[in-house]
Amino acid sequence: MRYLSGIQPSGILHLGNYFGAIRQHIRSQEDHDAYYFIADYHALTTLKEPEKLRGYVRDAVLDYLALGLDPRKAVIFRQSDVPEVTELAWILSTLTPMGLLERCTSYKDKIAKGIDADHGLFAYPVLMAADILLYDAQRVPVGKDQKQHLEVTRDIAQRFNHMYGETLVVPEAEIDERTALVPGIDGQKMSKSYGNTIEMFATEKQLKKTCGKIVTDSRSVEEPKEPEGNNVFELYKLFASETELQDMAARFRAGGYGYGEAKMALHAKILEYFGTARARREELAKDPGAVEAILRDGASRARAVAQRTLERVRRAVGLR
């Protein structure tokens, strides 16, 4: 089964990205034909600072490798290293109804937040469809927020096949319903665009500072507290064993246990959980040449598949 997914390098990756996406990506390399890419063309819709973009791409690759993505098992590449995707996006855009894109909530949300819309932002789901269809992907593991984009992709693929004959593989989304939305330090969905993230590769000191900023109510240490629903406890759930969780819950309920202490426990857990990955990342960062070679190899493997699909598409629509 071919798996494919992408992640935007529009900021530093965080716990939400890890538990909501990256962890599933890395798991699927074990028994699937897996393709993962850093969606730098997509990031351009929101990030117009070249140096930052380059930096975030580098960081995202290091993060994936450090977290366990194995380039011998999965293909990892940079989206823009396979420019064929933009040609496919154009062809697909000629059969994508405006209404389909106008209904996309991620676009509507950005508009509602006052972000000036350009054509790229509007056409974003078409490029995403091209990403998926170019590689004949069968399964696309994504977070819940991407469900609609996958429906758009399926719709476009079906339209194409209907108009030009069976050419494209219609993919399916794989949404891990067990991964609840990871809350940010303010309790809203953790997201780069809300400035409420916890970054797993931040320095120990930064991480401590971020944990300290997790929003809680102002009850005193002495007061008994209901752990369910409090941000620190919700985040702790991602890391702790059942016993550790019960233990923290009991302390909160008994009183005499403050948020400060719980935040320290969370901080220690994050460091422990990502300990190996943090050390590995430090090593990898020392060898940018090796990382670049991994990307080059990934691009050439991805490109071979892309060129075959694009040829099929060109022929189907009459460009050849």
Positions marked active-site: 110, 189, 192
Using CB under 6 A as the binding rule, whether residue 174 contacts ligand ADP is answered as: no
Stretch that binds ligand ADP, among 48-56, 189-197, 276-284, 298-306 (CB under 6 A): 189-197
Using CB under 6 A as the binding rule, whether residue 39 contacts ligand TRP is answered as: yes
Using CB under 6 A as the binding rule, whether residue 42 contacts ligand ADP is answered as: no
CA dihedral over 228, 232, 233, 239, signed as positive or negative: positive
CA dihedral over 154, 11, 260, 208, signed as positive or negative: positive
With CB under 5 to 8 Å by kind, the binding choice for 281 among ligand TRP, ligand ADP, none is none
Using CB under 6 A as the binding rule, whether residue 190 contacts ligand TRP is answered as: no
The nearest distance, CB 130 to ligand TRP, in angstroms, is 9
Q: What x-and-dash track marks residues 254-293 binding ligand TRP by CB under 6 A?
A: ----------------------------------------
Stretch that binds ligand TRP, among 59-67, 139-147, 252-260, 274-282 (CB under 6 A): 139-147
Query: 160 Cβ partners below 8 Å, 6+ apart?
Result: 92, 95, 133, 167, 168, 313, 316
With CB under 5 to 8 Å by kind, the binding choice for 42 among ligand TRP, ligand ADP, none is ligand TRP
Task: Name which of 188, 182, 254, 246 is nearest 215 in CA terms.
Answer: 188
The nearest distance, CB 281 to ligand TRP, in angstroms, is 21
Using CB under 6 A as the binding rule, whether residue 6 contacts ligand TRP is answered as: yes
Stretch that binds ligand TRP, among 27-35, 142-150, 183-191, 288-296 (CB under 6 A): 142-150
| Nearest to ligand TRP of 39, 238 (CB atom) | 39
- Return the bridge partners of 77, or none: 37
Chain contacts with ligand TRP (rule: CB under 6 A):
5-8, 39, 42, 128, 131-132, 140, 142, 146, 149
Chain contacts with ligand ADP (rule: CB under 6 A):
7-8, 10, 16-17, 19-21, 142-143, 145-146, 179, 181-182, 189-193
